Amino acid sequence: MTHSEENYLKAIYHLTTVSSSDVSTNAIAEMMETKASSVTDMIKKLAEKGLVNYKKYQGVSLTDPGSLAAKMIVRKHRLWEVFLVEKLDFSWDEVHDIAEQLEHIKSEKLINKLDDFLGNPTEDPHGDAIPDKNGEIQKVDKQLLSDLNIGQKGICVGVKDTSSEFLKYLDKQEISLGSLIEFIDKEEFDLSLKIKVDDKFLNISNKIASNIFMKVN
């Protein structure tokens, strides 16, 4: 596959994880920041290779081979993110763009050795699950901080928004994976939250809370 084909497969995969229905070409175009007509052309190519199912006006879904291929791209991306953070001391807000380039390396042997070298991690630095070499993913029971009830507490296990801006914001607030967060109160006017992070009290917007994944104790 070309890099472009791999990027499309990965985009479709990510969209299917948040929707139970087939993915629209418009949704793919928005994620890929391109025209819907360009998406249609690419989808036809992927369909000819047996990687997606496509019916005009009905959306797109991954075939079993397409799903496995997409998971392998995601696997490479997330393993490289772990490597960059754990072994090269990159911060979690720096690694996405670099991993976007490294994910196109073709050598399966290299990626499997990288996986073993890192101790076969199951999550990347942002808390996203890493598929194993067979495409299997360990599911983690998690909820958004914004969906918790007052008084509940748990561990931060991931982020929904992986943009550099959001991750830098969390760094400023000293919120990271593994932080113990307690939901203290909610402001009815704007739905902002008062929380306790480890031993520090903070007020955060509902938008921030809607991008933090929690594992409740």
Cα 206 to chain centroid, rounded: 20
What pLDDT is attached to residue 173? 95
- Please say whether the beta carbons of 173 and 203 come within 8 A: no
Q: How confident is the model at residue 118 (pLDDT cuts 50, 70, 90)?
A: very high
Interhelix angle 64-86/108-117, rounded to 10 degrees, is 50
pLDDT at residue 56 in the model: 82
- Would you state the pLDDT for residue 163? 92
Q: What is the pTM of this model?
A: 0.88
Among 15-19, 77-81, 177-181, 189-193, whose mean pLDDT is lowest? 15-19
- Per-residue pLDDT of 150-190, as tens digits, reads 999 999 999 999 999 999 999 999 999 999 999 999 999 99
Q: Is 90 exceeded by the pLDDT of residue 6?
A: yes
Q: What is the CA radius of gyration of the chain?
A: 19
In the predicted structure, residue 55 carries a pLDDT above the cut 80: yes
DSSP alpha helices (H): ranges in 49-198? 64-86, 95-102, 108-117, 164-172
Residue identified by tokens 């890493």 is 130
Give the Cα separation of 117 and 105 in Å (integer): 17
Partner residues linked to 158 by β-bridges: 213
